[in-house]
Chain A
Amino acid sequence: MKKLVALMCMVMFLCVSAAAFAADKYEVVDVKDGGSIKGIVKTSGAPADPVLDINKDTEYCGKSHPAGMYVIGAGGGVKNVIVAVEDITKGKAAPKTDTVIDNHKCAFEPLVSIAYMGQKYIMKNSDPIFHNTSIGLILAPGKKRTVYNLALPNKDQTIEKPVKVAGLESVSCDAHSWMRAFVYATPNPYAAITDDKGAFEIKDIPAGKYKVKFWHEGFGEAVVDVEVKAGAAATLDHTFAKK
Chain B
Amino acid sequence: MKKILLTILLTVVLCSAWYLSASAEDSQGKKLYNGWCAQCHGYDGDAKSYTDKFSVPKPRDFTMGTYKFRSTPSGDPPTDADITKIVRNGNPGTSMPPWTRFTDDEVKAIVAHVKTFAPDIFKDAGKPITIGTPPKASAALIAKGKELFNKAKCVECHGKAGRGNGEKGWQENFKNDWGDPITPANYTHPWELRNGSTVEDIYRTISVGLGGTPMTSYMDSLKDEDRWALAVFIKSLQEQRKLGVAIKIKKTVAIPAKVDDPAWDSVEYMDLPMGGQLMFEPRDFTPLITNVRVRGLYSDKEFAIMVEWSDKKPNNGADGKPADTVWIQFPQKVTEEAEKPYFFMGDKKHPVYLWNWKASDAGKVTEQLAKGYDNVADLPKQDVTVIAGYNDGLYRVVYKRALKTGTKDDFEVLPGKFVPFSIVAFDGQNGESGIKGAVSSWYYLMLEPATPLRVYVFPPLVALCVFVGGLSLSRSLRSKK
Contacts and interface: CB of A to CB of B under 8 A. Distances in A.
Interface of B: 8, 12-13, 16-17, 19-20, 23, 64-66, 74-75, 121, 151-153, 156-157, 167-168, 171-175, 177-179, 209, 211-218, 220-222
Question: For B171, B216, B221, B222, which residue has the most chain A Cβ atoms within 10 angstroms?
Answer: B216
A161 interface: yes
Nearest to A16: B20
Interface of A: 1, 4-5, 8-9, 12-13, 55-56, 130, 132, 134, 136, 139, 142-154, 157, 159, 161-162, 164, 172, 174-175, 177
20 contacts: A5-B16, A5-B19, A8-B12, A8-B19, A13-B20, A55-B171, A130-B153, A132-B216, A142-B179, A143-B64, A145-B64, A145-B65, A145-B212, A146-B74, A149-B209, A149-B215, A151-B220, A151-B222, A174-B171, A175-B168
Contacts of A4: 8, 12
A216 B19 CA distance: 44
B8 A9 contact: no
Contact of A139 (B19, B64, B75, B220): B64
B13 A8 contact: yes
Given A5-B19, A148-B75, A175 B64 contact: no
Contacts of B214: 132, 134, 149, 174
Given A1-B8, A56-B168, A159-B220, A146 B66 contact: yes
Contacts of B168: 56, 174-175
A132 B211 CA distance: 14
Given A130-B156, A139-B64, A177 B173 contact: yes
7 closest pairs, A vs B, by CB? A174-B214, A130-B153, A177-B173, A142-B179, A132-B216, A151-B216, A177-B171
Contacts of B12: 4-5, 8
Nearest to A172: B173
B221 A151 contact: yes
Given A8-B13, A139-B64, A146 B217 contact: no
A136 B167 CA distance: 24
A161 B220 CA distance: 10
Most chain B CB within a 10 A radius of its CB, from A5, A55, A130? A130
A174 B175 CA distance: 9
